[in-house]
Amino acid sequence: MSSPRVAEVTRKTAETQIRVKVNLDGTGQASLSTGIGFFDHMLDQIARHGLIDLEIDAKGDLHIDGHHTVEDVGITLGQAVAKAVGDKKGLRRYGHAYVPLDEALSRVVIDFSGRPGLVNHVPFTSGMVGGFDTQLMHEFFQGFVNHALVTVHIDNLRGDNAHHQAETVFKAFARALRAALEIDPRSVGVIPSTKGSL
């Protein structure tokens, strides 16, 4: 690998102030502060199971609700990943993972296609997990795919406990991301597309 795949992105709006730093070739170290405990727990899954060093500091209008903070973290993380991944030469491009947690099972498939697309099928059994509105998981992933320019398919195949449903999704996303971001030693320096660009 010719250069470290690291990036730092700052996003400031009237609703949020967010700083994200990523190292795509890290060891899973995380420093996370969004003001939403369960969301921090889910972001930690991305770092640990994706082997991505991840720093996220987010201050948002939580006195309203968590929507802007969660969505804008997704946007900023997507921008940071896109910046860190660079021209995608040698990238495996595709990744998928199945992750169970007790009764819950989720599958995530990702393609660094250069085209944003999200298919999200998670029939949550509860609207809240702790202080986290489960509807916001969609907003996080929509923000991510729009700005990382990736296609992501998320399917929670079964689950009775909303915490387990969410955690299996984030862990599967992390594992799929890790696979897709790997450098393929058989195609170093090659764009993984018949078009010659992604």
Q: What pLDDT shows up at residue 194? A: 86
Task: Give the structural domain span for 82.
Answer: 6-181
SS3 73: helix
6 bridge partner residues = 23
User: How many domains does one find in the chain?
Assistant: 1
Question: So what's the pLDDT on residue 16?
Answer: 98
With contact defined as beta carbons under 8 Å apart, do 102 and 164 qualify? yes
How far apart, in whole angstroms, are the C-alpha atoms of residue 65 and residue 73? 14
Residues 67-86 as b/e (b if ≥16 CB within 10 A, e otherwise) read: bbbbbbbbbbbbbbbbbbbe
* 86 located within any domain: yes
- Cβ atoms of 58 and 16 within 8 Å: the answer is yes
**Tens-place pLDDT, residues 131-163:** 999 999 999 999 999 999 999 999 999 999 999
Residue 188 counted as domain residue: no
Query: Is 25 inside any structural domain?
Result: yes
Q: Where are the beta strands (DSSP E) in the chain?
A: 6-12, 16-23, 30-33, 53-60, 94-101, 104-111, 117-121, 128-129, 132-133, 151-158
pLDDT for 63 equals: 96
Taking only the tens place, the pLDDT of each residue in 83-127 is 999 999 999 999 999 999 999 999 999 999 999 999 999 999 999
Whether 120 and 74 have beta carbons less than 8 Å apart is answered as no
194 inside domain? no
Query: How high does pLDDT run on average in the chain?
Result: 97
Q: What whole-number distance in Å separates Cα of residue 185 and Cα of residue 195?
A: 20
| pLDDT tier, 197 (very low <50, low <70, confident <90, very high otherwise) | confident
SS in 3 state form for 24-72? CCCCCCEEEECCCHHHHHHHHHHHHHHCCEEEEEEEECCCCCCHHHHHH
pTM of this prediction? Answer: 0.97
Question: Residue 140 sits in a domain of what CATH number?
Answer: 3.30.230.40
Instruction: Using pLDDT thresholds of 50, 70 and 90, give the confidence band for residue 3.
Output: confident
| Predicted pLDDT of residue 2 | 61
Residue 134, both tokens: 């489960």
Q: Tell me if 197 is assigned to some domain.
A: no
CA distances from residue 14 to 36, 59, 62 in whole angstroms, order as listed: 19, 11, 13
